[in-house]
Amino acid sequence: MAICSVNPVTLKEMRQSVRGMFINILLVITLVVNGLFICRTLIFNEKVGMDFTIARQLFGQIYFMLIAGSFILIPAYLGNRFASEISDKENSLFFSTGLKPSSIVWGKFFSGAILVTMFYSSIVPFMILLYFLRGLDVVKMLLTVFYSFIFSLLSIMFMLAFNSDASHPGIKRSKNVIGVIFLLFMSTSLSNLYMFIGYSGDSVTSLFYWARMLTYLVLELLAGGFLFIITVYRISPKQSNRAFAVKIYTAIFWFLTMLMAVAWSFSDIFAGPMYEFHPLKLWLISMTIISIAAMVMSAAEPNTASKRVRREISANPVKRVFQYLFFSGCANTFTFSTIMAVLTIITAAVFEAAKISSLNAMLTITLTAALLYGLMYGLTTITIKRHFFKDRSDTKIPIMITVILVFIGTVTPVLIAFYLYDNISAAGDLGWYAVGNPFILFGVKWPIFKVLSFTSVFTVVLAAFNWRWFYESFRQFRQTK
């Protein structure tokens, strides 16, 4: 009976992992390489009993194997398997099962967590040996391993989210390679965790130490939950209310991370390696970027709610307004994303007026300009998709449209300026040639008045052109039996 209660996707994944060669070869290589490292040191180093730095050096080598295996190779393996099952030509468990999408993703993730746990268990004997060699704080060593384990679980969830679409086989392979490259880049930050936790001057019994560590842990858990929700969203049926969980989690994520950023800015307890990034500034920029990305991706949602979704709509007009914001739909998602972005900018203005952290009026202006760019390109993408692609809920279409629009808005004015002035820098004094380029906001000096004027006028024109469609979308959002 106990076996029947286990997620069937987990059972399927574990059977195939045991029958396959990848995990077996990885475990054998890990054991052999770590054994050779330690045997070479114990046999050929004459100062084993006197040099207390040997345990630290060996732990660094073992930690490198942990990162390579659990943070890069196993997540890449799971991501590649997940991508191969998402295909209209495959008759696999992913399509034949009656499980909910959340159960499928959870089964995939839990099987990956089991594989990572097996991989970490193979390191335990070497850790015990390092303890007897002395010179290494066993508590900090275990904490380092624990946090690298959490990061490994996060990397598994990232690869599942990154590979959760039915792309062309060639694109799937390219995406998996890109995901691995990203993990390789992030592994450098994970190696810094070894230095920070393993050799931090703070005592593990101090409030400072645990305040920072628990803060990082909560952020990692929130990020993992967000990736889980996104993965479930991407594999859910197009006509279902798949955006509901994403929007609820986004609102909770927005509020909790704001509280953490404020606490981090006000208290010296949270001062540490992340402090130079100014937590509130990092939070404001991140939330604005997420909201703008959601504006563009809202075009992937169907224009009209399906009968399945309409059955869940309340007859109460007040509840219906809130449901409109949180339910799936192109207009619904765009409206929700705009409200979240506006709330973020209002929060930035309030923090700036209260003289919190290093915030200033320029940051609020930059975020406002970014929002206007998001509205401008988002509304243009929706307009093109609505008129030329009807109600096709394809994720790739809005992305391609937005990329083309940004390319045109970025390159075309520059080419015109070069043609008129024979020198882009001369045209730069006028500032008009760059107003269509959203990346201008990353510059030190950008024409504030011209950018705000251009984006505002363009947004108002697009809003006037689409307001009736938004109104009809809300009016038709009613319960049907």
pLDDT of residue 427: 47
Could you tell me the two tokens for 453? Answer: 């004027």
From CA 345, how far away is CA 448, in angstroms rounded?
17
DSSP characters for 367-427?
HHHHHHHHHHHHHHHHHHHHHHSTT---SHHHHHHHHHHHHHHHHHHHHHHHHHHS-HHHH
pTM of the model: 0.79
For 106-143, the pLDDT digits (tens) are 888 999 899 999 888 888 788 777 777 766 777 777 77
Q: Tell me: the pLDDT tens digits for 396-452?
A: 777 788 888 888 877 777 777 666 665 555 445 556 667 777 877 777 677 788 888
d(C-alpha 443, C-alpha 453), whole Å: 18
User: Rounded to an integer, what distance in angstroms lies between the CA atom of residue 137 and that of residue 56?
Assistant: 9
What are 326-349's pLDDT values in tens digits?
888 888 889 999 999 999 999 888
Residue 196 has pLDDT above 50, yes or no: no
Looking at per-residue pLDDT, the higher value among 286 and 393 belongs to: 286
Residue where the block lists tokens 């949602």: 301
Residue 432's pLDDT is what?
A: 65
The tokens describing 406, both together, are: 């940004």
**Which residue type occupies 86?**
I
Determine the Cα–Cα distance for residues 157 and 161; give it in Å rounded to an integer: 6
Give the separation between CA 73 and CA 65, rounded to whole angstroms: 10
Q: In sequence order, which ranges of 45-168 are alpha helices (DSSP H)?
A: 54-66, 74-85, 93-96, 101-121, 124-133, 138-162
d(CA 472, CA 121): 58
Beta strands of 149-302 (E only): which ranges? Answer: none
Selected residue with higher pLDDT from 394 and 323: 323
Sorted by where each begins, the domain ranges of the chain are 1-200, 237-481
- Which DSSP category does 305 fall into? -
Distance CA 165, CA 159 (A): 12
Helix (H, G, I), strand (E, B) or coil at 157: helix
pLDDT value of residue 87: 59
Cβ–Cβ < 8 Å for 63, 152: no
| Residues counted in the chain | 481
Question: Measured between alpha carbons, how far is 203 from 66 in angstroms, rounded to an integer?
Answer: 25
How does residue 50 score in pLDDT terms, banded at 50, 70 and 90? low
